[in-house]
Amino acid sequence: MQSKHPREKDGLRFLCITPKYRHGAHTTPVDLDVMATYFGPFGDIYRRDKRTPWTGESYVDINPGDAKSLSIEDGDYVWIDADPQDRPYRGAKPDDPDYKVARLMCRARYYTGTPRGVLRMWFNMYQATHGTVKAHETRPDKLAKNPETQYQAIFRYGGHQSTTRAWLRPTLMTDSLVRKDVFGQQIGQGFAADVHCPVGAPKESYVKIAKAEDGGMDAHGLWRPARLGYRPTYENEEMKKYLEGGFIAVDQ
Amino acid sequence: MRTFLFVLVLPMTIIIMGLLGSGQTEQALVAKYVDVPVPIKLNDPIWQQASPLTIKLTPQQIVAPWGGGSVPHIEVRALHNGQFISFLLSWPDATVNQELVANDHFSDGVAVQFPTDVTAIPTPFMGDAKNAVNIWQWQAAWQRDVNEGGIADVDRTHTAYGDIYVEELMREKGEIFWRPGEFVNNWRAQRTRVTPVENLVALGFGTLTHLVQQDVYGDGKWNTGQWQVTVGRALHTHLSGETEFKPGAKTKINVAVWEGSVQDRGGRKSVSMQWHPLELQDVTTITTGTVSQPTEKTNPPTTLPEPTIPQKAPASIPPIVPAILAGLGGLIVGALIAILVMKGLSARG
Amino acid sequence: MATVKNWQIQREMKYPYEEARPKRQFSAVFDTNKCIACQTCTMACKHTWTSGRGQEYMFWNNVETKPYGFYPLGWDVKILSLLGVNHWAGETYQGKTVFEAAPAGQATQGYLPEDMDWAHPNIGEDEPAGTVEKGDFFDLPHKIWAFYLPRLCNHCTYPACLAACPRKAIYKRQEDGIVLVDQSQCRGYRECMRACPYKKVLYNGVTRVSEKCIGCFPLIEQGYQTQCVTTCIGRIRLNGWISPPAKADPEKPIDFLVHIKQLAMPLYPQTGVEPNIYYIPPVHVPLTYLHQMFGPKVDKAVELYKHIKDDEQLLGCLTLFGSTNRWVEKFRVEAGRAYGYDAKGVEIVNVPLREPSHIRPFFDAAQQAYRHNTP
């Protein structure tokens, strides 16, 4: 408990976990437009805030106390960055054309159930690519859809894997290792990406988070539900009364 | 002294009664006869020949839902050519409300109302169970539909970024799966709109009914703070529910206005609390074969030049003046009666 | 204005039309203790009924997390606030219904949502009331809590939407109490949208008239339960007919749960509309919040549910949830099994109260081998 992460001096102090959500296996919860509107709090089938990449978008859960200490409001867009040595990719520099494609931006949601020092994002979302970023930046409606392949991203920039680093178990990832391929029934040998057990779960995502844009329509002010007082820590008087059950008294 | 008072009181009484009477006499809307093709365009200079009637409007507070009251008055003009009649309606409106896409969008609108049967005139408020009214309702949203080529395509502010509409895969079969309003041919839902005016009949509150025959034409334009709308129809249709117009004869007209920006719709409207007489001038010359008929599809020009008719109502005695005179008259009469009584008393005393 | 009897608030109240209960009343019970907000019901309804133009934002069925979830935004905070602070004396509601609280010249108290209120249908998902502090642990009720509230049109006995429509474009079917918007008669005034306390009438911006849940009446007419009920993978829902309390039949599952056992209760009964979707309340949520949502009978329901394993009849009835897609007219529980019957009295389903289980011995004598669990 006494040792510090070597990158903490650079501002990295959050553990960013990316579990999969109960709403579906892998990417299925965002495969459909209507399901994407239900996947989290930022869905809008009409995309009235044109910044949103699709009918729903990725978001990070953050403890409200942590958020306020960093001046991040509920609904704001944020940047999430990990060890710059190899994330979002090895040798990344801010003025690379690839940098903005890979650097993670998403919405922040105040979630009181998140412990302090932890961020949580869902794994299930389609990440940004060069094609989707170009579309997002050049289309008048800013839809993040690759015009050539029709691939639809649910991130404006980057993805939940922009900050994740897997640790390959050296005892298993030898060139002579015999293992099944990722798809099908072929047996192969040596290193293969995304083959579970050798590659799999052990990963690290130690990050810093910073505000990128206001959550309000067209980047002005608070996201509407926070402004109107229906969000945790922003509750208006009626919402507070409602939470306490204050509109009804029962005389026994 | 008594002779003097008699000479003063009697004429004063007559004058005062006359003024009071004029305050109650309804100013009629006269539809002048003109020998021109109808429909008459909004900006046609011939409208200057029509005598406008300014109708004061009040909020609707007779039946729930109450509302309206933001439009203080409307100006009505009418012209006919012996075969068709045209009305020009102008009222102040700071904003254009012509969208109906979102659930909080409401359209600007105006309606004129006539007794279906001029011998059986109901209350001025949408008819009653025994006596029908014929209503022509214009809405800014329908005007926009017509202006934009007749297709009420609505994905303007609300483009949905859905993947597919299954019903559009089935388009060749001509089936509508999920738009029940359109499936039952509700007039509000029609995708190809050819007229911005709906022809309706009513037998009291809540009974407004679309008529099978849609034979009313119209056109509307907004010009910096004012709507101008023309509506019109053939004088004689002999169709159920519809009113008849006769040159030389009298009938009634009433009017209502909806202001979209304050969520007016249905009963939430600015209304006039009384019928107004409508008189069609007699036909003084008979025209032969030169009168144009409105086509089935109204084809309003897509851009109208600025209107040349005056923007303000021409000067007329505002209703307040007779009221003031009546008030003064009342004071004078009262004072004279008091003097007479005093005289009488002092005579007795 | 007529005077009608509302059994949910145990008194008379004013309504624009005479009391006219349908021959049978469409109803359902939802067990909030089992809902996991998978949204299968939401998607089933969406793909069946609201996949057309103008319907994109509509979810006739939705599931919202309470307390931070809403569709539309803040709907219940707003209607509670418009009604003000009210109270129950015993089981009688002493406060104002939406009809009694109507401002001058309006049919009901209510408000018309703004366009953006309909965005973000799953706002507040999984968000709890309260914060987790170091050292917190769980007790009942939970210090921090959330639950899922699946909702649809309540097909009310005294619908506010029907009362508010100046054109009588909304009607209630005599045969099953389902409330519908007449698509020919509607002119899109949206008085119904303003009036419905639950905001379950929705405007179609393409057809410019309004729509709502139709109770899957084409299925009901054929003897099936609704899409949202039959697709529920958690088996938390059951359709059925509900009778007025004086006619409650213990063999009818909804009557049994609502009137006899008093385990399921209506949503915000104080609105006065007599809503006909009933909820088994979540047992881990503070009672102050539950009183506001379900009324005074919630305390006993929570206690009953905690001891449900001791009540075979009740347990059996709940086991029928999700056991069939056919409408269960009557039910019976006997000797560890629950039976469902159709309107003709023919058995359509039977389920055991306890799943049969066998435990095999670790050593298989015939094979002279040990059994192992190999993942």
Q: Tell me: do A12 and A134 sit in the same domain.
A: yes
Residues across chain A: 252
Maximum Cα interatomic distance, chain C, rounded to a whole number of Å:
87
> Residue A206: which CATH number?
2.40.40.20
Report whether pLDDT(C282) > 90.
yes
Per-residue pLDDT tens over the stretch A91-111: 999 999 999 999 999 999 999
Burial C160-197 (b: 16+ CB within 10 A, else e): bbbbbbbbebbebbeebbbbbbbbebbbbbbbbbbbbb
Whether residue B174 has pLDDT greater than 70:
no
Both A130 and A12 in one domain: the answer is yes
Q: Quick check: is A153 in a domain?
A: yes
The band of C150, judged by pLDDT with boundaries at 50, 70 and 90, is very high
Residue range B113-132: average pLDDT?
Answer: 94
The total of structural domains in chain A comes to 2
Tens digit of pLDDT for each residue in C333-364? 999 999 999 999 999 999 999 988 988 889 99
Percentage with pLDDT > 70 across chain B: 69
Residue carrying structure tokens 């359902």: C28
Given a cut of 60, whether residue C206 has pLDDT beyond it is: yes
Nearest to C207 among B103, B155, B186 (CB): B186
Question: Tell me: the pLDDT tens digits for A218-240?
Answer: 999 999 999 999 999 999 999 99
* Spacing of C-alpha A109 from chain mean position: 10
Average pLDDT score over residue span C241-254: 98
pLDDT of residue B297 exceeding 80, the answer is no
- Position C335 in a domain: no
A2: which 2 tokens? 């006494």
B28-315 CATH: 2.60.40.1190
Least confident span in A30-34, C172-176, C321-325: A30-34
Q: C176, C25 in Cβ contact below 8 A? A: yes
Residue B57 CB neighbour total at 10 angstroms: 21
Amino acid at B120: A
Interface residue B158 vs chain A (CB under 8 A):
yes
Give the pLDDT of residue B325: 46
| pLDDT bucket at B39, cuts 50 / 70 / 90 | confident
Cis peptide preceding A19, ω within 30 of 0: no
Residue extents of the structural domains in chain B? 1-27+317-349, 28-315
Kindly report the number of other CB atoms within 10 A of residue C231's CB atom.
Answer: 21
Q: Residue B101 has what DSSP assignment?
A: S
In a domain, C119, yes or no: yes
Report B:30-89 residues touching C (Cβ under 8 A).
61, 63-67
Question: How confident is the model at residue A201, as a pLDDT?
Answer: 59
Domain assignment present for A1: no
C46 to chain A, any CB pair closer than 8 A? The answer is yes
Q: Does residue A123 share a domain with residue A17? A: yes
Query: Would the pLDDT of B313 be above 80?
Result: no
Of the pLDDT bands very low, low, confident and very high (cuts 50, 70, 90), residue C67 is: very high
Q: Does the residue A236 lie in any domain?
A: yes
Q: Tokens at residue B195, please? A: 């007229």
pLDDT of residue B150: 55
Mean pLDDT within C100-109: 97
Residue range(s) defining the domain that contains residue A142: 8-167+202-243
User: At residue B320, does pLDDT exceed 80?
Assistant: no
What is the predicted pLDDT for the residue at C140? 79
> Has residue C112 been placed in a domain?
yes
Mean pLDDT of chain A: 90
Average predicted confidence (pLDDT) for chain B: 80
Q: Which two tokens stand for residue B323?
A: 């009221």
Which chain C residues contact residue A113 at CB under 8 A? 126-128, 132, 144
Residue A53 within a domain: yes
Which residues does chain A have within 8 Å of residue C116's beta carbon, measured at their own beta carbons? 48, 224
**Which residues does residue C181 pair with via DSSP β-bridges, in sequence order?**
C170
Q: Which two tokens stand for residue C231?
A: 């697709």
Question: Is residue B7 scored above 70 in pLDDT?
Answer: no
Q: What is the pLDDT of residue B3?
A: 57
pLDDT at B23: 42
pLDDT at B142 over 70: yes
Of the given ranges (A24-28, B97-101, B184-188, B244-248), which has the lowest mean pLDDT?
A24-28
If one counts the domains in chain C, the total is 1
In percent, the amount of chain C with pLDDT more than 90 equals 91
Within a domain: C113? yes
Same domain, A65 and A181: no
Question: Does residue A185 share a domain with residue A79?
Answer: no
In angstroms, rounded to a whole number, what is the distance separating the alpha carbons of residues B24 and C317?
Answer: 74
* Whole-number Å distance between alpha carbons of B165 and B176: 11
DSSP secondary structure of C165-232: -TT--EEE-TTT--EEE-TTT-----HHHHH-TT--EEEETTTTEEEE--TTHHHHTTTB--HHHHT-
Per DSSP, the three-state class of A138 is helix
Please tell me the least confidently modeled range out of B162-176, B266-280, C164-178, C221-235: B162-176
Three-state secondary structure call for residue B159? coil
Q: From chain A, pick out residues whose CB is under 8 angstroms from the CB of B162.
A: 33-34, 45, 55
Give A46→chain C minimum CA distance, Å: 8
CATH number for the domain including C175?
3.30.70.20
Verify that A185 and A88 share a domain, yes or no: no
Which domain does C91 fall in, by range? 2-130+140-294
pLDDT digits (tens, 9 = 90+) for B199-243: 999 999 999 999 999 999 999 999 999 999 999 999 999 999 999
Kindly write down the DSSP assignment for every residue of A66-121, as one continuous string.
HHHHTTPPTT-EEEEE--TTTSSSTT--TTSTTHHHHSEEEEEEE-TTSPTTEEEE
Q: Which residues of C touch A41 (CB under 8 A)?
A: 120, 122-125
> Is 0.90 topped by the overall pTM?
no
Size of the B and C interface in Cβ pairs below 8 Å? 120
Please state the rounded mean pLDDT for residues B55-67.
97
Report which of residues B150 and B281 the model is more confident about: B281
- The arithmetic mean of pLDDT across residues C8-31, rounded, is 97
Nearest to B206 among C50, C114, C168 (CB): C168
A147 domain residue, yes or no: yes
- Let me know if residue A96 belongs to a domain: yes
Structure tokens at C365: 């004598």
The string of DSSP letters for C249-301 reads -TTSHHHIIIIIS---EESSGGGSS---EEEEPPTTS-HHHHHHHH-TTHHHH
A250 inside domain: no
- Whether residue B86 contacts residue B231, with contact meaning beta carbons closer than 8 Å, is answered with yes
Q: B interface mutation test: which of C53, C55, C210 has the most B CBs within 10 A?
A: C53
> At A214, which amino acid appears?
D
pLDDT over threshold 70, residue A88? yes
pLDDT of B323 > 50? The answer is no
Same domain flag for A41 and A129:
yes
Q: Considering the domain boundaries, does residue C334 fall inside one?
A: no
Are residues B163 and A46, on separate chains, in Cβ contact within 8 Å? no
For the stretch A191-227, pLDDT in tens is 777 665 555 556 778 999 999 999 999 999 999 999 9
Q: Looking at residue C215, what is its pLDDT?
A: 98
DSSP C321: T
Region of poorest pLDDT, from A122-131, B291-300, C263-272 = B291-300
Within chain A, strands assigned E span 14-17, 59-62, 77-81, 104-110, 118-121, 165-166, 178-180, 187-189, 203-204, 206-213, 248-251
User: Between these two residues, B232 and C130, which has the higher pLDDT value?
Assistant: B232
Instruction: Look at residue B14 in the predicted model and tell me its pLDDT.
Output: 57
